[in-house]
Amino acid sequence: MHNFHRPKLSTLALLLRVAFASTLAGNAGVALAQDANAKQDAVLPTVVVTGRADTDSYVAKRTTAGTKTDTAIRDLPQSVTVITEALIRDQAMQSMADVARYVPGVGMANGEGNRDSPIFRGSASSSGDFYIDGVRDDVEYYRDLYNVERVEALTGPNAMIFGRGGSGGVINRTPKQANFQTVRGADLTVGSYHNRRVTADVGQAVSDTVAVRVTGMVEDSGGYQRNYKLERSGINPTVAIRPGKDTSIVLGYEHFQDERSADRGVPSLNGKPYATSVSAFFGDPDPDARPTRLVSDALSSTIEHDFGNVHLTNKTRYTDYDKFYQNYNSGAIDVKTGLVPMAAYNNHQWRKNLFNQTDVTFDIASGALKQKVLVGMELGRQDTDYLRKTGVFSNNKTSFSVPLTSPDGPLPVNYVLGGSASDRDGTSNVKIAGFYAQDQLDLSPQWQLIAGVRFDSFKVDYTNNRPAGVLALPASAAHLSSKDSLVSPRIGVVYKPVEATTLYANYSVATFPRAGDQLSSLTAVNQGLDPEKFINYEIGGKWEFNPDLLATVAVYRLQRNNVAVVNPATGIADQLADGQRTNGVEVGVSGKVTRNWSIQGGYAHQDAKLLASTSATALSGATVGLVPKNTLSLWNRVELTPAFGAGLGVIYRDDMYTSTSNSVVLPGYTRVDGALFYTINAELKLQLNIENLSDKKYYAYANGDNNITPGSPRAFKLGLHARF
């Protein structure tokens, strides 16, 4: 069994308390020092005027995620959904799966019980299309929202802004940072299945040139699955510096760790999920036999300088990730014997990311023509070590059958390298150099044009150190190398018949290198193949029904080209074909219907089909797995009195296939959620969230035909929010 060091949460909790206490003490010290200096120099002390941003709105007006410039969301020629801090708080969101429920066109796979795995517009599930403040965050893990101001989901190819990948969309988190505003907050959550969580957010200006902020979180929870446990913690201090009126610097550090039990779900039977208890587990139920763990440390800096009509931004982010997981997964049930085969493996990944982005924006005006020109460069390096081992059971095989009536007994297993063809002991080194230019033109009060192109030089070197043996490589290490020149254009036209209404058309292209989502998929066969290409055609409209209510609609076609298929002449996948097409519609609404009624909702219709046969279980004409035809979500919050509020949400999903085999169906469902809000006083608020009010049994998502995750039964969360 794999052993690893488990940092004590109590230590981190103590660090959080010390950090917050130090901040408060430091603030008091600064105040005393300023007072002493004022008396000594007979000069009035500096007064720093601060305010609190609007944190009670579900609608966001502007973003930098779509263009790298501050742009009104209404004027972006693409579909963008923003999950604001207010919605995160009101729904007690803690994960990306919570966020995705209210983003039309984005679903989730179960990620083998160890990672976020979104599905954008019917394209394959991804773990590499995550970003923090526009910088790549691509390791496989579960992301938390304790230090997040808002989450932006951009659907459609976004490589022109974000670089490689971004084939069907991206998710960008905007972190909470020091901003010279006074912040004092703490939240306590307790709930069903031993849910226990504390977050804190403390920040303020310590002078007219320096501000600090610290966000932190500690959680120790269980879950509705058998013997499930979750322990995670994070601390994220940031410092903002204003050396001059035109320059700002923000420095940050985050330590985050997440330890939980991996659960791959239940198998299928007769084309449906196997009917068993939602708490059932297949494999060894001991949490120490199926751990998943991430420890990450990140350093970041953002430097901005305004030259007048020219604005310079430089971002640097270095992250050190250590990710390990170990799990059991079931195979197809043998109806005759009543047995189900179990397999096991573990995977360890160490990655160091270093990215630097430099953007220069020019504001140009010539008569009625106004332009915002962006030129930029991104340099990056990613160094990764991989170690995957297969479980060998007491029968000296990589599969062990257990009774379907009791599938959760002890399963002694040894993990060995070379037990299967999927095992690896490898190292990859990736170097990225990206250059991009974009022009946002106001041609007239009614017409706008956004056009840009990005060029990326993407080079990967992969060394497989797996020793000789059964299913292993020859004794000499296999070295593979690939270099791609990726071109990603985007052009969008915006027409505004009236100020509050926008109509648009958009064309964009993204490319996906053969190194794969986690930079480990390069083979001797595919290293010379062209990258996959995703082409998106989209038209849509956006309407501000009132200044606080935005509705959007998008109609699109997403084409996936250069998919590797088996060549009849060679018998291997060395031939490229147009592999997939998704036609869809996305509708979104967010904001205030009235002063006391806020809503967030979305509807998506998706028709995703394979256009070529890529394997024996992925045939041309098949429907793409985990892509329901129709999904709908609508959340409402109503203020009943100045002190009382209530929330009601409905989530609907059609039937969908678990994979491209189209042999197993996840039944559709409707889930109802609710909430009650009570304002005790200006500093304290009480909140009760109820997930799955009707206690409906449903299946949330899957990872293939025999790894299916049941949804949570009825669950309660009681939260106390303090602002002082």
Task: Name which residue leads in pLDDT, 520 or 696.
Answer: 696
Q: Which two tokens stand for residue 457?
A: 């030089």
DSSP 671-719: EEEEEEEEE-SSSEEEEEEEESTT----EEEESSTT-EEEPP-SEEEEE
- The pLDDT of residue 48 is 37
Tell me how crowded residue 307 is: count the other CB atoms within 10 A of its CB: 10
Q: What domains are there in the chain, each with its CATH number?
A: 9-15+51-723 (2.40.170.20)
| Count of CA atoms in the C-beta half-sphere (13 A) of 514 | 26
- The pLDDT of residue 468 is 56
DSSP 219-269: EEEE-SSTT-EEEEEEEEEEEEEEEETTEEEEEEEEEEEEEEE----B-EE
The string of pLDDT tens digits covering residues 492-505 is 999 999 999 999 99
Task: Name which residue leads in pLDDT, 588 or 574.
Answer: 588
- The pLDDT of residue 145 is 98
Element (H, E) at 480: strand 478-498
In this predicted structure, the answer to whether residue 35 has a pLDDT above a threshold of 60 is no
In this predicted structure, the answer to whether residue 557 has a pLDDT above a threshold of 80 is yes
- The pLDDT of residue 32 is 35
In this predicted structure, the answer to whether residue 577 has a pLDDT above a threshold of 60 is yes
Q: CA 339, CA 400: separation in Å to the nearest integer?
A: 10
Q: CA 380, CA 290: separation in Å to the nearest integer?
A: 34
Average pLDDT (404-430) is 91
The string of pLDDT tens digits covering residues 102-118 is 999 999 999 999 999 99
* Closest-CA residue to 327 (of 111, 18, 643): 111
Confidence of residue 11 (pLDDT cuts 50, 70, 90): very low
Average pLDDT (546-566) is 94
In this predicted structure, the answer to whether residue 1 has a pLDDT above a threshold of 70 is no
- The pLDDT of residue 226 is 87
- The pLDDT of residue 467 is 62
- The pLDDT of residue 666 is 97
The string of pLDDT tens digits covering residues 584-600 is 999 999 999 999 999 99
Burial class (CB in 10 A: 0-12, 13-18, 19+), 345: buried
The string of pLDDT tens digits covering residues 237-292 is 999 999 999 999 999 999 999 999 999 999 999 999 999 999 999 999 999 999 99
In this predicted structure, the answer to whether residue 2 has a pLDDT above a threshold of 60 is no
Phi, psi of 86 (to 5 degrees): -65, -40
Q: CA 82, CA 70: separation in Å to the nearest integer?
A: 15
The string of pLDDT tens digits covering residues 435-484 is 999 999 999 999 999 999 999 999 999 998 876 554 544 444 578 999 99
Average pLDDT (632-640) is 98
Average pLDDT (564-579) is 82
Encoded amino acid at 374, one letter: L
Phi, psi of 273 (to 5 degrees): -60, 140
| Least reliable range by pLDDT among 309-313, 476-480, 572-576, 590-594 | 476-480
Cα 388 to chain center, whole Å? 24
The string of pLDDT tens digits covering residues 75-91 is 999 999 999 999 999 99
- The pLDDT of residue 522 is 87
The string of pLDDT tens digits covering residues 696-712 is 999 999 999 999 999 99
Average pLDDT (49-58) is 59
Q: What is the dihedral of CA 203, 204, 207, 209, to 10 degrees?
A: 70
The string of pLDDT tens digits covering residues 319-372 is 999 999 999 999 999 999 999 999 999 999 999 999 999 999 999 988 778 999
Confidence of residue 44 (pLDDT cuts 50, 70, 90): very low
In this predicted structure, the answer to whether residue 50 has a pLDDT above a threshold of 60 is no
- The pLDDT of residue 18 is 38
| Least reliable range by pLDDT among 180-194, 434-448, 469-483, 605-619 | 469-483
